[in-house]
Amino acid sequence: MAKKNSAGKTAKPAKAAKATPAPHADGAPGIDIGISAGDRRKISDGLAQVLADAFTLYLKTHNFHWNITGSMFNSLHLMFETQYTEQWNALDEIAERIRALGFNAPASYGEFTRLTSIREEAGLTDTADWREMVRQLVAGNETFCRTARKALKVADDAGDDPTTDLLTQRLNVHEKNAWMLRSLLQ
């Protein structure tokens, strides 16, 4: 039988006490953003892979910008510059989201190499084959999209709207880049 309060209304059951995150050793408060520590870890791990793919693709795009030659030089030099500049700026957003979730962002070539899904392919500085450069960038952008979609699902399942928004924006950019690059080969 439900208990009645002093006004004769049925009393609501008491809410379980919310666990307060333990403070850090330095006395700073623990993270309490409405996402469990376990989910924050999973999201952060996915974002670390996204960051590794983003950095690898940035580096590859910048390499091709520096080393393009031939009849497509001007248009591809400018296209690659536009893409790598946008990619560079996005790296900070991804890394800062990892930090906001309470974890360190990967920040070394070794970590990026271990985490990336983008294959290392032979450099093209000797051949400067623009078609192969474009093909590799199409593949890299699509690989990034697959990695981002996996991370987005984890973030969405955890109710992490800022991360889903960030990843949705990144998907829009990389899908568009893949389309534009692919169009050059058709």
pLDDT band at 178 (very low <50, low <70, confident <90, very high): very high
Is residue 141 situated within a structural domain? Answer: yes
Does residue 92 lie within any of the structural domains? yes
Contacts of 160 (CB under 8 A, 6+ apart): 35, 39, 43
Does residue 7 belong to any structural domain of this protein? no
Mean pLDDT value of segment 96-103: 97
Structural domains counted in the chain: 1
Q: In the predicted model, is pLDDT for residue 31 greater than 50?
A: yes
The mean predicted confidence, pLDDT, of the chain is 88
d(CA 170, CA 141): 10
Measured CA to CA, the distance from residue 160 to residue 170 in angstroms comes to 16
Q: What share of the chain is helix, strand, coil (3-state, %, to 5)?
A: 65, 0, 35
User: Does any domain span residue 46?
Assistant: yes
Beta-carbon contacts of residue 158 (< 8 Å; ≥ 6 apart): 35, 36, 39, 40, 42, 43
In a domain, 68, yes or no: yes
4: phi then psi, degrees, rounded to nearest 5: -110, 145
For residue 10, being part of any structural domain is answered with no
Q: What is the pTM of this model?
A: 0.83
| Separation between Cα atoms, residue 140 and residue 17, nearest integer Å | 48
Range of the domain at 110: 37-116+126-185
The CATH number linked to 101 is 1.20.1260.10
Q: Residues of the chain with pLDDT > 70: what percent?
A: 82
Would residue 22 count as lying in a domain? no
**Model confidence at 127, in pLDDT bands (50, 70, 90)?**
low
Task: Dump pLDDT digits (tens) for 38-93.
Answer: 999 999 999 999 999 999 999 999 999 999 988 899 999 999 999 999 999 999 99
Q: Are 51 and 98 in contact (CB under 8 A)?
A: yes
**Could you tell me if residue 31 is inside a domain?**
no
Residue 107 near residue 133, CB atoms below 8 Å:
no
